[in-house]
Amino acid sequence: MHTHETVVMSVGGSLIVPDQIDTAFLTALKQLVNHQIVTCGRHFIIIAGGGKTARRYQDAAGAVSALDPEDLDWMGIHATRLNGHLLRTIFRDIAHPVMITNPDDIIDIPKKTPLIIAAGYRPGASTDLRAVQIAAHRGATKLINLSNIDYVYTADPRKDPSAEKIEDIEWAEFRKLIPRDWNPGLSSPFDPVAARKAEELGLEVAIINGMSPAEIEKYLDGENFVGTRVHS
């Protein structure tokens, strides 16, 4: 089945650089995406997070100078671009030659392009928000958020034994579980500003553990999968 459906995929930095660069993860991601494009005819736009590279630079800067939140943001952004170019490199044969940073630039790339790599753009917003903006520009209806968690929970399961995993949730309920505002160091399964915008657009977001490529394929094939589906 060749659908030419476009899927936006946000790849958390903790998957690309958990401590050192995880080449096993990258190899599995390459195989998954190549298969989806060549065999299933899907198109992808992949945006990279910053991971430990961002953290190392932020920590070093903090050891030398007082830090402005904007600088924290910028070092995170440049880390996403380094990670993004690493993705661009492993998909050299099929990816659009130029990595996107300003989401508006996606407008100029032909619709038939099977794979586009994106990265962070400017301070004041996360790559989750950029992923949602890209989905809006491209008319994509599905966004896969890959990180290192299997599910969103009703509370932090490390602290609260009554925390329950969530398999399916509406945006209004989901937004009650996360903070209201975003900042560069926020820990949340999805950026709150991006969540509001995704809700406005009627976008479906699937939060899946990136170490489980089989679950990603199940989600794309419309089967039951391990992960959390957020929708309108």
- Binding residues vs a second copy (CB under 8 A): 20-21, 23, 26-27, 30, 53, 56-57, 60-61, 63-65, 67-68, 71, 74-75, 78-79, 81-82, 85-86, 88-90, 92, 97-98, 102, 104, 107-108, 110, 122-124
Of 61 and 178, CB closest to a second copy: 61
Of 124 and 179, CB closest to a second copy: 124
Of 30 and 35, CB closest to a second copy: 30
How near is the Cβ of 61 to a second copy at its closest, in Å? 4
Picking from 27, 202, 207, 47, the residue whose alpha carbon sits closest to that of residue 117 is 47
Of 108 and 223, CB closest to a second copy: 108
How near is the Cβ of 53 to a second copy at its closest, in Å? 7
How near is the Cβ of 122 to a second copy at its closest, in Å? 6
How near is the Cβ of 54 to a second copy at its closest, in Å? 9
Task: Report the C-alpha gap between 182 and 192 in whole angstroms.
Answer: 6
Contact 148/18 with Cβ under 8 angstroms? yes
Q: Strand order in 168-170's β-sheet?
A: 115-118, 43-48, 6-11, 142-147, 204-209, 228-231, 168-170
Of 65 and 224, CB closest to a second copy: 65
Phi, psi of 58 (to 5 degrees): -65, -40
Burial of 109 (0-12, 13-18, 19+ CB in 10 A): middle
Q: Which residue has the tokens 């299997």?
A: 150
How near is the Cβ of 83 to a second copy at its closest, in Å? 8
Query: Which residues on neighbouring strands pair with residue 143, listed in sequence order?
Result: 8, 205
